[in-house]
Amino acid sequence: MIGQNRTLQPLTEIRCFMLDMDGTFYLGEKLFPWSLGFIETLQKLGIGYLFLTNNSSKDRHLYAEKISRMGLRVSEEQVLTSGEATAIYMEGHYPGKRLFVAGTPSLLNEFSSRGFTLDDQNPEAVVLGFDTTLTYEKLWELCDFVRAGLPFIATHPDINCPTEHGFMPDIGAFLAAVTASTGRSPDIIIGKPNRMIAEAAARKMNLPLQCLAMVGDRLYTDIAIGREAGITSILVLSGETRTEDLPGSPYQPDYIFTHLGELAQYLADLYREG
């Protein structure tokens, strides 16, 4: 451990670690060498884990397949996307409503599989996801419904999505266009760093919110959600964030580790001492 503890909850009270993926558990198409050992430590200690991603263009099945292909067999129930979290939120706040969903077929299926009626003629609420199938016609329809005053929900706030070849425009870029056209921003944004995705994770894992901790490599999403949701945040320096980024950031982690392997050793020692 190379940081200091400013947390609300001791790590011995955490029952589920929410794990960012790229930069935390793997990099691109390769697992970090310490990732499987981290999961083995959690299993030995009887602690749960849930992979968490803001990307709503893909479904949990695809992420579970990717992680399994890398060497850790996981089920889709061990993955939570911002798309699924949005569907969980909509179940609680807009049950049975007709929805206009601007998203990929995977996101549309997330809502239809939960009993929502998808309606592009007379919807009662609007959902925008990271839509890699977005057309001008779909954007125009979305703006008309938003301008008409329908409830407007976005799956996450990311402006760009990193790829092996640079960046591709993410939902935040689409939101800027919608706001410019309609004068409205989303009523609710679900994904990191917002509290709602943590609440969806707690509901999915059947745990109190305070029993969850977020582990990730980005200060403005993974660590910021700690403050937004009032949960423990753990920074790993295996991805985007460097030590020199910390002094100027408004988002300070409760714990800092070089990588998941160091966190695993800390947990093992902590439980051994306890």
- Checking if the pLDDT of 8 tops 80, the result is no
Across 20-114, where does the E strand assignment appear?
26-27, 30-31, 48-53, 79-81, 98-102
Residue 162: pLDDT band with limits 50, 70, 90: confident
**Residues 17-54 pLDDT 10s:** 999 998 999 988 889 999 999 999 999 999 999 999 99
pLDDT at 3 over 90: no
Please state the pTM of the whole predicted model: 0.91
Q: Which CATH number fits domain 11-54+193-273: 3.40.190.10, 2.40.160.20, 3.40.50.450, 3.40.50.1000?
A: 3.40.50.1000
β-pair partners for 188: 153
Mean pLDDT for 148-174 is 90
Whole-number Å distance between alpha carbons of 77 and 73: 12
Extents of the domains making up the chain: 11-54+193-273, 92-189
Domains 11-54+193-273 and 92-189 agree in fold = yes
**166-190: average pLDDT:** 95
Q: What homologous superfamily is domain 92-189 in, according to CATH? A: HAD superfamily/HAD-like (3.40.50.1000)
Which letter does DSSP use for residue 226 in this model? H
